[in-house]
Amino acid sequence: MAGKLGMKHGVNVRRSVFCYMCKQQKEKITRKYCKKCAANYMRAWRAKHPLNAVARAKLKLRRDTKMRIKNGLLIPYPCEICGKKEVEAHHEDYNKPYEVRWLCREHHRALHKTGIKKTSEGGL
- Contact footprint for Zn ion (CB under 5 A): 19, 21-22, 34, 37, 79, 81-82, 84, 90, 104, 107, 123-124
The least distance separating Zn ion from the CB of residue 73, rounded to whole angstroms, comes to 19
The least distance separating Zn ion from the CB of residue 104, rounded to whole angstroms, comes to 3
The least distance separating Zn ion from the CB of residue 71, rounded to whole angstroms, comes to 21
Instruction: Tell me whether residue 103 is exposed, middle or buried, using C-beta atoms within 10 angstroms of its C-beta: 0 to 12, 13 to 18, 19 or more.
Output: buried
DSSP state of 97: T
- Minimum CB distance to Zn ion smaller for 20 or for 67: 20
Dist CA 103 CA 75 (whole Å): 13
- Minimum CB distance to Zn ion smaller for 16 or for 51: 16
Sign of CA dihedral 91, 97, 102, 105: positive
- Minimum CB distance to Zn ion smaller for 51 or for 115: 115
The least distance separating Zn ion from the CB of residue 53, rounded to whole angstroms, comes to 19
Dist CA 34 CA 40 (whole Å): 10
Nearest to 99 by CA among 55, 71, 68: 68
- Minimum CB distance to Zn ion smaller for 4 or for 30: 30
